[in-house]
Amino acid sequence: MKEALTRIAGQRIRLIEKLIGSEVKAELLILFHSNPELVASLDDLAQRMGRPSKEIRKEIDEFVRIGLINENPVYSLNRERDRQIQEAISRQFMRDSPGGEEEAEPPERRRTGIGVLDRLLPEGCPHSASILVLGDPGSNRTILCQQFLAESMKAGLLCIYVCCEDFPDNVRKSMADMKVDTAYYESAGKLVFVDCYSPLIGLESKEKLYVDSYSLSALSIALSKALAQQERLGTAVILLDSFSPLVQKCGFQPSIEFLRTLVAKVRMFKSACLIKMNRKAFAPPLLASVQDVVDCVIEMKVEEEPEGLGKYLRVSKMKGAKCSTAWTPYEASPETGIVEKVGGSRNGAKGGRGAAEDGLPLYEVE
């Protein structure tokens, strides 16, 4: 089984390398996916990309050969062929992907470094896992996700931050409040930003990787390019901040398919992915569909209480590991991150008792 999974992973990697086996190929694909109506000469492409024409011609010829790019004599994207290739990639990721019941060995796990989460995950968090952080407005989902990323960077993992709701520079400032030196990790190649926000509002991005977040295929290509560093640095952690605008702008079905491909991709690279989402912005059936795709669900809620707003979190789903499903009170600040609230209710109700005291099962395994 292990040899078969290794062979399948190798086939997928070769498929990706064929499309983004070089910096120029990745840039070409992102350019055409972000501008699907583009019709340009070789010199026009060279000027847009800031590269010599000879260098671009060498790479684009392969795209012409497989029918992805039309040449007559200017270059344009063959949308039908592009759709066929994207579907083929998705099928490759979905077919016999590692994980689930077919996984030959139990997944490796690690402590997150976030006290309240580590108590709710007594066996640790799998290295390779897709984690949905589903919360109310004001529940500090962003702080939790950034804290998770900060602890991952300290552990030496490659972290990829996909900005769909804010500028990367604002993220750098908020992580600086947590005493995270983002400049150090970026210079070491352990922190990569993918800017989907600047192009969305019509501004030129300063990041090396940027895509129009309306283009899910371009975002998928950019993530593959960022994950190419994973072989050198080991396990990677992706933060999609957040999934909500993708669903709102691109539609439910395309976004779900993108999420399925992303989950399969991080499994292939034996990495992890955090997906932030607003649980008040969508109907229950849609939220249920998203929860069904991922391995783990962390829920965060805000409740009105006599003394003010109470905040609670729980791990309602964890594939392949034990987790506590009890609502646990917490406090949050940019400086300290998410910390368990001492002396608070364990089930989110005034004067409530813990799950074990109520006679409910403390741990569940999905």
Neighbouring C-beta atoms of residue 162, cutoff 10 Å: 31
How many whole angstroms separate alpha carbon 82 and alpha carbon 150? 37
Q: Which residue ranges does the chain devote to CATH 3.40.50.300?
A: 100-365
Place of tokens 């605008």: 245
Where in the chain is CATH 1.10.10.10? 2-94
Distance CA 363, CA 365 (A): 7
**How far is Cα 127 from Cα 273, in angstroms, rounded to an integer?**
10
In angstroms, how far is CA 18 from the centroid of its own chain?
23
Predicted confidence pLDDT, tens digits, the chain (366 residues) = 445 444 444 444 455 555 656 777 777 877 787 777 888 888 888 888 888 888 888 888 888 888 888 887 788 888 777 777 766 666 655 554 444 444 445 557 888 999 999 999 998 888 889 999 999 999 999 999 999 999 999 988 899 999 999 999 999 999 999 999 999 999 988 999 999 999 888 898 999 888 876 788 888 888 888 887 666 656 799 999 999 999 988 899 899 999 998 998 888 888 899 999 999 989 888 899 999 999 999 999 999 999 889 999 999 999 878 888 999 999 999 888 999 988 755 444 443 334 433 333 445 445
Strand order in the sheet with 296-305: 209-210, 191-195, 158-163, 236-241, 272-278, 130-135, 296-305, 308-318, 328-333, 337-340
Q: Which residue has the tokens 């998410």?
A: 338
| Length of the chain counted residue by residue | 366
Query: Going by C-beta distance under 8 Å and a sequence separation of 6 or more, which residues neighbour residue 351?
Result: 345
**Which fold does the domain 100-365 belong to in CATH?**
Rossmann fold (3.40.50)
Residue 56 has a pLDDT of 86
Buried b vs exposed e over 286-321: b needs ≥16 C-beta within 10 Å?
Answer: ebebbbebbbbbbbbbbeeeeeeebbbbbbbbbbbb
Task: Give the architecture (CATH level 2) of 2-94.
Answer: Orthogonal Bundle (1.10)
